[in-house]
Structure 1
Amino acid sequence: MTLDKSGLNNVIHNIYNLWCFICLYLLGAYYVIIELNRKFGFINKVKTFDVDTAVTCTLEGRVAIITGGGRGIGWETAKSLIKKGCHVIVTSSTKPGPQLDSLKESLSPQIDGYIGKLDIWHLELSSLTSVLEFIRKFKSSGLGLNLLINNAGVMFAPFSLTEDGFESHLSINYLGHCLLIWAFLPILNETGFKSRNLSRIINVSSSTHYARNLRLDDLNGSKMYSPYHAYAQSKLAQIMFTFKLHRYLNEKGSYDLVTVNSVHPGVAKTALYEHVWWVQLFPGLASMVFRTPKEGAETVLYASLSPEIDGVGGKYLEDCAIVRASKYSYNESKQEELWSLTRSLLKPWIDQVENNSS
């Protein structure tokens, strides 16, 4: 039996997808051991971060944006910030109107009595038009910005292209957040100057980046697609963009009151795992192994608030500590190539941001 070209391509794609699956699940097995150690301390005690103990001052007057902050790790992060007095703008892909109002009504009782403020604004990261609308809304508010926490994400989703022609993981996890960063850098820097506290950008990434490299000639996965690679690649891109952005901020000099770091929040049981088959089949087992969303928020909060990270940028963090990211992520030539490609892909929307600022 012989295969035609189409059949051969299908075989190659299936083998590629299987290989990506194996790479990520082997890495996942390692991180299950990490999570079990965190729970039971078999090897060593993992560092944790308690906001109430570590942050003694109020956050009143500070403003934070948390993408995808209406649930999971993002919401646990938001609650801790609001409790300390921060004005938190949570973004949600929930449609504006009654549905978004209902979301706020469901979340508000959880922060009853907290001294901070919660706003929930619509943001659909799969639409760069929506990202621009969010940027315009925030800029028109006149608010400063102390913290930009890029937390929203999608994982292992079937192949789909956004209205802008980008693969969904690439758009939601990476490109949309890059556009937010470009738009808000001036505000972050100005707020850092006025508040006399460095503003911070936190990119919530993933340990899955260790398992993959970038396919810079096919970021969209149009030639060969695997949901496992697409997710890991988008998270690797976040980390490499973080490293390059850190150098850019230092070299440019005009944004020296902003730091940027990326974090792996740990393997927490959240809605992010809706496309992970075994989590859906055995939710009880996942609950036993994974950390809670509140525990997952610890490293995000550490990167956002810890005095130990004040003035520190261009790092990758796990379990409230600076660790080494993948060897590939430190390749500066690949970082530069990704940076240029990202700017090129986002140019029509970056131009609109810059034109509206002038």
Structure 2
Amino acid sequence: MQSIYNKLAGKSEYSQSDVPDMQGRVAVVTGGTVGIGFEVAKALAFAKARVILLSRGQDNAEEAISNIKASQSASGGLVDVTWVSCDLGSLTQVRKIGDQLRKQEERLDLLFCIAGVGVNKYDVSSDGIDRHFAVNHLGHFLLTNRLLPLMRHTSTLPGAPAPRVICMSSSLHTSAPSSVRFESVDEINTDLGSMQLYARSKLANILYVKYGLIERVLDPANDRILALATHPGAVHTGQQDQFKEAYGEVPGTIMKHVVTPFMRSPDQGSLSALWAATCPEVEEHSPKWNGRYITDPGEASKESDMARDPELGANLWRLSEQIVKEKLGEDSLLPWDQSKP
């Protein structure tokens, strides 16, 4: 029983203090103002990286930056953290902000795709797409497309470690219904229920890394860029408040109080992503780690059968490109092999 609790609670020898010196490196963290994203951003800032937070809420952003600066100043250090307003559910905003960052930044070493809708009721984005799919996958799909040229440039800089894309998935991807095929917008906009909508979007995260970035985009002969999917563990964040919206006030409140005592803290939940993004071993042994699904620091786990289905991966890629082009125009995606920022 104790071993099970330790696993849930994230008892790991690895900690945020193990993040190596990131002086001179730049990281973009979506959803970086709350929960796991905040903990990732804080650890990177403490390691001297320049951190750019992407999120919707200005109040959360100001509080997050203030907390990071206050924590670090207590130990006599300075941090470089900025915030850019961006709704990952709006393709128009994502393209605008992605282009802005690509043109204004001199380098980009790390892209953390963390922003997400939790287990919540069905709703649609401003583009008319299931909001789970739109925020958790599609916005990050487009953001990566706009930022990859800058990451390719970074990979050529003298002494620069290989840039990395980290997509936060979840073990709940295993709950995606077998009916999921990623074949049409009508399918995506079918209300499967709160848990299944979330699970489908988390399945998309793994497929995107495995059969999108690794198999279609990143050429190992020419691209020194790594991509990994991660699972944070069962983490107590503000997402549990969405249970009430998903299941009703009383059932949602009961569910929240039942599950949260067994959950990891956000700082523990940040460790798999931080390890995947910063541990030198990932680059030193990239054939072993690149494209893998990291469930704890130094641990890669087997995904579900659906997450290892190349046909589903191909369907997801085609549908993602189709939706972006339908909403923003045929020229809305940069060439995936573009190297000039």
- Give the TM-score of the pair, scaled to structure 1: 0.80
Closer/same/farther in 2, CA of residues 78 and 282 from structure 1, 3 Å limit = same
Counterpart residue number, 2:230: 263
Find the residue that maps to 1:268 and give its secondary structure.
coil
Counterpart residue number, 2:160: 196
* Residue 246 of structure 1, aligned match among 204, 214, 217: 214
**1:176 pairs with 2:143:** no
Find the residue that maps to 2:174 and give its secondary structure.
helix
d(CA) in 2 for partners of 1:133, 1:235: 25
Closer/same/farther in 2, CA of residues 155 and 349 from structure 1, 3 Å limit = farther
Contact 1:192 1:258 in 2 (8 A): yes
Cα displacement (A) at 1:202: 0.3
Residues 1-358 of structure 1 mapped to structure 2, 5 A cutoff:
36-38=5-7, 47-53=12-18, 55=20, 58-95=21-58, 101=62, 104-105=65-66, 107-112=68-73, 113-194=76-157, 195-212=159-176, 213=178, 214-217=180-183, 221-244=188-211, 245-251=213-219, 253-254=221-222, 256-277=223-244, 280-281=253-254, 285-310=258-283, 311=286, 312-320=289-297, 321-347=299-325, 348=328, 351-354=331-334
d(CA) in 2 for partners of 1:210, 1:342: 21
Contact 2:19 2:43 in 1 (8 A): no
Q: Which consecutive residues of structure 1, in runs of 5 or more, have no partner in the other structure?
A: 1-31
Closer/same/farther in 2, CA of residues 349 and 293 from structure 1, 3 Å limit = farther
Contact 2:27 2:108 in 1 (8 A): yes
Q: 276-285 or 106-115: which moved more?
A: 276-285
Contact 2:24 2:49 in 1 (8 A): yes
> What amino acid sits opposite 2:323 in the alignment?
L
Contact 2:23 2:47 in 1 (8 A): yes
Find the residue that maps to 2:24 and give its secondary structure.
coil
d(CA) in 2 for partners of 1:230, 1:99: 26
Find the residue that maps to 1:201 and give its secondary structure.
strand
> What amino acid sits opposite 2:169 in the alignment?
S
Find the residue that maps to 1:276 and give its secondary structure.
helix
Contact 1:35 1:291 in 2 (8 A): no
Q: Which consecutive residues of structure 2, in runs of 5 or more, have no partner in the other structure?
A: 245-250
Closer/same/farther in 2, CA of residues 280 and 48 from structure 1, 3 Å limit = farther
Cα displacement (A) at 1:101: 4.5
Larger Cα-atom Rg: 1
Post-superposition CA distance 1:108-159 (Å, at most 9, x none) = 3233244431111111011111112211221232331000000011112222
Post-superposition CA distance 1:45-64 (Å, at most 9, x none) = 96442243463xx2110000
Cα displacement (A) at 1:236: 0.1
Q: Could you say what the CA RMSD is over the residues aligned between the two structures, in angstroms?
A: 2.8
d(CA) in 1 for partners of 2:201, 2:305: 16
- Give the TM-score of the pair, scaled to structure 2: 0.84
> What amino acid sits opposite 1:49 in the alignment?
Y
Q: 347-356 or 121-130: which moved more?
A: 347-356
Contact 1:84 1:115 in 2 (8 A): no
Cα displacement (A) at 1:226: 1.5
